[in-house]
Amino acid sequence: MPNIDRREFLKLVGAGGVSVGAGFMLREANKDPREYLIPHVLAPEDFSSGLDTFYNSVCSMCPAGCGISVRTREGRAKKIEGNPAHPVSQGRLCTLGQAGLQALYNPDRLTAPMRRTGEGESASFEEITWEQGLKQVGDRLDLLRAARRGNRVAFLTQGVRGHLAQLFESFMRQLGSPRLLHYDFDHPHTLYAANQQFFGESRLPYYDLANTRLLLSFGADYLNNWISPVHHSLGFGESRQGRADVRGRFVQIEPRMSISGAAADEWIPAKPGTEGILALGLAHHIVAEGNYNGADLGAWTNALADYTPDAVAEQTGVPVNSITRLADSFVDTTPSLAIGGGAAGNHSNGVDTLVAVNALNYLVGNIGQEGGLVLNPEPAGPAVQQHRASYSAMVELAEAARQGEIDILIISGTNPVFTLPPAAEFAEALAQIPLVVSLSSFLDETTALADVILPSHTYLESWGDDFPEPGVGFSVGAVSQPVVSPLYNTRGTGDIILDLARRMGSSSVMPWQNMEEFLKYGWRRIYQRGDSQTLAQGFDAFWTSVLKAGAWGETTNGSTAFTLNPDVIAGIGVAPPEFSGSEEDYPFILHPYLSPNFHDGRGANLPWMQELPDPMTSVVYGSWVEVNPVTAEEMGLSEGDLVDIQSPHGQLRVPVFVYPAIMPNVIAIPIGQGHGEYGRYAKGRGVNPIEILSPLLEPITGNLASSATRVNLTPTGGRVKLVKTGGVSRDLGRDIVQHTSLGVEVSSAADNSIPITEVTT
């Protein structure tokens, strides 16, 4: 030890103490403020530490409109469940709905308004304030409105219902612009048109799966993506094993086995686009066998004369005895139900096909009956079907843009640059519009081309409402409320529109400060429909009860008797489908289908959905093309081989998946991957089959015949390893999934035996 005297010692201690103190103070000053514990002297409302708070709302991950109940803990959303009180979801929810949490907490969300700077390759977005963004757009709107050139404003939104739709309508009416388009890739235009033709109303009926005993589905993937999967799954479950002694039977008719096809008792492959012909074949047999006895029997016999089982068998590829057997069982089983849609509706003969399906229901008399097709009452909320834009409407919009007729395009919640085929030339058209405003929450392909971005809240942070379509046989409505406070500097879509309306001088007509106020205003009308008990409680109590329950409903009295317009019968007939390209050059038919994980691509930025194995193939994180096993063998293809798929309008490269249940000349690619933008999880992954679709149309609706593209398949010699979770998807005699026949109890002795099987690698 060195010798220190007292003085030195004290100096050292002092210096040491001072420096420690200084260091401490320095650290404290530079501390991240989040390290401090902030006590809840004034805790937010509904905030109980350690206890859950549930909020009811409406899911917006697909157009079905299921009611949800969100569990929040200390202001954070933790889990989404179905709302038991909501008639559509009844406490259940699908996989995409469960993933809504990842849309809310997505790392790639747009957090503040932005404006494009620079041109072309060097273009980027800079952050601006709401005032700047709203002013820029609002001033232009005001100018146009004042100059009576409001019709140069176009508004493109995803399909919305309820009061937000009404808001958009009011907004566009103020501008005097007819260019309000609701565009979704998966909107069943042909189904609506078919219903308009047959039932005289452009509204989806209620398909009572729960009470039916035989369901014939012509291409409609009702368990997966078709209009209301949760509700139809509930119906399916109820029909199958929910009733004592009655088991519903399900038949699926489609060229590629979908999830509904896997669940069906019988999967019948029919040539693409001939499902309507098959339906009429069944109808012919029903009438020919004398199983229909309506007054208009003569008209039906005439209309169906050409659809003999032999002729239909030839056109559809379905054997004659299947046709007659199906028709007979459709009549003998009561109640039975026929539904149609999906790929079957996306052909050049789409509307006629779905009219034919409606005809089947009519012939067995299930319209308005339990277990059949029940016509829905008018929705209690705003009905806005007239603005639904088909492919040709979008092409018209693009043309108008190219002609310089559009000054401002506002886009909300839809991604046409991704979901329209390049043949529509939509992205190029956007470049011709001086001001493109996007209200999206994410930087998707369309938003990446915008000039100003005014990002919206996600649905879990927004006010809104919904009147589900299809309805459930009676009037249902639900209010969507925020379950957490907004995470970022975003605003509700309705709030943005109201603000813009104010800026263009429409505040007298649209006086509401925000969406919540507007909703309350709109729901007053619904409140006033109530009975005396409801009216007695006052509107505020009514509103609170609707929010707490998460659903509002109104029973209707009796079922409307339905009479069919005889002109409709005369017009019944399904022409063979048209395809793009010649059969010699393009021997395969491309069957693009909405993937369960991503729907039309909207779910691709959710990591849970990317990692979710595809239900049929178990592939994750990529795309694939499904090829029939015999076709694959003939072409020398096995799993993972890269092939080039070429249509008359484009080309893709994608690995092969050998799929046991697809027709030999049909290949299928799921829709949803192949994003060029849309965040880190979606970008640069897989392929988008929409890119190679040919612009064939269904003439009545202008709907894109997305299942009508012909392609050819060329092996490239390259190979990738398909990432999938499944191993060998064959039982190998191990009886893992055990079967039984109806009414036969299997004895336990058979359960334990393990049969001999061959050695395979």
Partner 1 sequence: MSLFSRFMDGWRKYRKPGYYDEFDYHWTMTIDLDKCTGCEACVTACQAENNIPVVGEDEMAKGREMQWIRIERYWEGEYPNAKLSFIPMMCQHCDAAPCETVCPVGATYHNQDGLNAQIYNRCIGTRACAVYCPYEVRYFNYYDHEWDSPLEQQLNPDVTVRGKGVMEKCTFCIQRIRQAKDVAKDDDRRRVQDGEMQPACVQTCPTKALVFGDRKEHESQVYKSMNDPRNYRVLDELNTDSSVFYLKKVDA
Partner 2 sequence: MTTETFKLGYNDIHDDVVRSIVKTGPKYYIALATAGGVTLLCFFFPWSYQLYYGIGAAGMNHPGVWGTYLASFIFWIGLSHSGTLLSCVLHLTNSSWRKAMYRSAEAMTLFSLVVAATYVMVHVGRPWFIHWAVPYPNQMELWPNFRSPLLFDVMAIATYITGSTIFIYMGSIPDFAAVRDRTSGWRNTMYTLLSLGWRGTDKEWHRLHWAYTFLAVLIIPLAVSVHSIVSWDFAMSIVPSLHQTIFAPYFVVGAIYSGTAGIVTVMFVLRKTMGFEQYITKLHFDNLGKLLLVLSLIWTYINGVELFTAWYSGTSEEYEALGYKLFGYYAWLYWEMILFCAVAPMLMFSTRFRTSFVPMLILSIAINIGMYTERFLIVATSLSRQYLPDAWGTYVPSPVEISIMVGSFALFTTLFLIFVKIFPSVSMYEVKETMATPKMEPAAPAAGSPA
Among residue numbers 672 through 691, which ones bind partner 1 (CB under 8 A)?
680
**Spatial separation of the C-alpha atoms in residues 596 and 511, rounded to whole Å:** 41
For partner 2, which stretch binds (CB under 8 A), given 170-178, 255-263, 592-600, 723-731? 723-731
Of 1 and 756, which CB lies nearer to partner 2 in the complex structure?
Answer: 756
Q: Which residues contact 1 (CB under 8 A, 6 or more apart)?
A: none
Q: Which amino acid is at 717?
A: G
Interacting residue with partner 2 among 38, 295, 736, 749 (CB under 8 A): 736
Q: Does 752 bind partner 1 (CB under 8 A)?
A: yes
- Transcribe 198-216 into DSSP letters: HHSSSS--EE-GGG-SEEE
Query: Which of partner 2, partner 1, none has residue 761 at its interface (CB below 5 to 8 Å by kind)?
Result: partner 2
Interacting residue with partner 1 among 113, 340, 596, 695 (CB under 8 A): 596
Range 83-102, binding partner 2 (CB under 8 A): none
Q: Do 675 and 631 form a contact (C-beta atoms < 8 A)?
A: no
For partner 1, which stretch binds (CB under 8 A), given 536-544, 565-573, 641-649, 659-667? 659-667
Number of Cβ atoms within 10 Å of the Cβ of 36: 8
**Spatial separation of the C-alpha atoms in residues 276 and 299, rounded to whole Å:** 19
**Spatial separation of the C-alpha atoms in residues 464 and 518, rounded to whole Å:** 9
Interacting residue with partner 1 among 29, 37, 295, 742 (CB under 8 A): 742
Interacting residue with partner 1 among 39, 555, 739, 761 (CB under 8 A): 739
Interacting residue with partner 1 among 628, 694, 701, 706 (CB under 8 A): 628
Per DSSP (E only), the strands in 377-463 are 408-412, 435-438, 452-453
Query: Which of partner 1, partner 2, none has residue 82 at its interface (CB below 5 to 8 Å by kind)?
Result: partner 1
**Spatial separation of the C-alpha atoms in residues 668 and 682, rounded to whole Å:** 21
Rg of the chain over Cα atoms, rounded to whole angstroms, equals: 29
Per DSSP (E only), the strands in 404-521 are 408-412, 435-438, 452-453, 464-466, 475-480
| 712's tokens | 């050819």
SS3 state of residue 117: strand
Of 20, 76, 96, 72, the C-alpha closest to 600 is: 96
Of 275 and 639, which CB lies nearer to partner 2 in the complex structure?
Answer: 639
For partner 2, which stretch binds (CB under 8 A), given 20-28, 418-426, 652-660, 732-740? 732-740
Query: Which of partner 2, partner 1, none has residue 757 at its interface (CB below 5 to 8 Å by kind)?
Result: partner 2
Of 236 and 624, which CB lies nearer to partner 1 in the complex structure?
Answer: 236
DSSP character at residue 80:
E
**Spatial separation of the C-alpha atoms in residues 553 and 380, rounded to whole Å:** 9
**Spatial separation of the C-alpha atoms in residues 76 and 50, rounded to whole Å:** 12
Give min distance, CB of 737 to partner 2, in A: 10
Interacting residue with partner 1 among 293, 386, 557, 741 (CB under 8 A): 741
Handedness of CA 579, 584, 585, 588 (dihedral sign): positive
CA 411 to chain CA centroid, Å, is 18
Q: Does 328 bind partner 1 (CB under 8 A)?
A: no
| 453's tokens | 């971005």
- Could you tell me the CA-to-CA distances from 506 to 20, 142, 171, 648 in Å, in that order? 65, 9, 8, 48
Of 418, 391, 416, 346, the C-alpha closest to 673 is: 418
Q: Which residues contact 567 (CB under 8 A, 6 or more apart)?
A: none
Of 392, 491, 365, the C-alpha closest to 111 is: 491
**Spatial separation of the C-alpha atoms in residues 56 and 550, rounded to whole Å:** 5
Give min distance, CB of 547 to partner 1, in A: 22
Give min distance, CB of 734 to partner 2, in A: 5
Q: Does 756 bind partner 2 (CB under 8 A)?
A: yes
Site residue total, partner 2 (CB under 8 A): 19
Asked whether the bond before 335 is cis by omega within 30 degrees of 0, the reply is yes
Of 243 and 730, which CB lies nearer to partner 2 in the complex structure?
Answer: 730
Q: Does 739 bind partner 2 (CB under 8 A)?
A: no
Q: Does 755 bind partner 2 (CB under 8 A)?
A: yes
Range 689-718, binding partner 1 (CB under 8 A): none
**Spatial separation of the C-alpha atoms in residues 378 and 381, rounded to whole Å:** 8
Interacting residue with partner 1 among 110, 193, 234, 429 (CB under 8 A): 234
For partner 2, which stretch binds (CB under 8 A), given 346-354, 553-561, 676-684, 728-736? 728-736
Site residue total, partner 1 (CB under 8 A): 86
Range 597-636, binding partner 2 (CB under 8 A): 618
Give min distance, CB of 65 to partner 1, in A: 15
Give min distance, CB of 157 to partner 1, in A: 27
For partner 1, which stretch binds (CB under 8 A), given 534-542, 558-566, 624-632, 689-697? 624-632
Of 148 and 739, which CB lies nearer to partner 2 in the complex structure?
Answer: 739
Range 485-504, binding partner 1 (CB under 8 A): 487
Q: Does 750 bind partner 2 (CB under 8 A)?
A: no
* Residue 666: strand pairing partners: 589
Of 234 and 568, which CB lies nearer to partner 1 in the complex structure?
Answer: 234
Q: Does 259 bind partner 1 (CB under 8 A)?
A: yes
Give min distance, CB of 492 to partner 1, in A: 20
Range 158-217, binding partner 2 (CB under 8 A): none
**Spatial separation of the C-alpha atoms in residues 675 and 683, rounded to whole Å:** 5
Give min distance, CB of 220 to partner 1, in A: 14
Query: Which of partner 2, partner 1, none has residue 756 at its interface (CB below 5 to 8 Å by kind)?
Result: partner 2
**Spatial separation of the C-alpha atoms in residues 173 and 168, rounded to whole Å:** 8
Backbone φ and ψ of 3, nearest 5°: -85, 120
Query: Which of partner 2, partner 1, none has residue 500 at its interface (CB below 5 to 8 Å by kind)?
Result: none
CA 355 to chain CA centroid, Å, is 23
Q: Does 728 bind partner 2 (CB under 8 A)?
A: yes
Interacting residue with partner 2 among 727, 744, 749, 750 (CB under 8 A): 727
Q: Does 95 bind partner 1 (CB under 8 A)?
A: yes
Q: Does 139 bind partner 2 (CB under 8 A)?
A: no
Backbone φ and ψ of 8, nearest 5°: -60, -45
For partner 1, which stretch binds (CB under 8 A), given 6-14, 403-411, 611-619, 638-646? 611-619
| 272's tokens | 């693409």
HSE, CB side, 13 Å, CA atoms: give it for residue 667.
29
Q: Does 43 bind partner 1 (CB under 8 A)?
A: no
Q: Does 738 bind partner 2 (CB under 8 A)?
A: no
Give min distance, CB of 646 to partner 1, in A: 25
Range 670-689, binding partner 2 (CB under 8 A): none
Backbone φ and ψ of 676, nearest 5°: -95, -20
Query: What's the 3-state SS for 554-607?
Result: ECCCCCCCCCCCHHHHHCCCCCCCCCECCCCCCCEEEEEEEECCCECCHHHHCH
Q: Which amino acid is at 533?
A: Q
Q: Does 660 bind partner 2 (CB under 8 A)?
A: no
Query: Which of partner 1, partner 2, none has residue 105 at its interface (CB below 5 to 8 Å by kind)?
Result: partner 1
Q: Does 120 bind partner 2 (CB under 8 A)?
A: no
Interacting residue with partner 2 among 19, 545, 651, 729 (CB under 8 A): 729
Give min distance, CB of 340 to partner 2, in A: 33
Give min distance, CB of 53 to partner 1, in A: 13
Number of Cβ atoms within 10 Å of the Cβ of 30: 7
Query: Which of partner 1, partner 2, none has residue 223 at its interface (CB below 5 to 8 Å by kind)?
Result: partner 1
Q: Does 760 bind partner 2 (CB under 8 A)?
A: yes
- Number of residues assigned to the chain: 761
Q: Which residues bind partner 2 (CB under 8 A)?
A: 618, 726-734, 736, 754-761
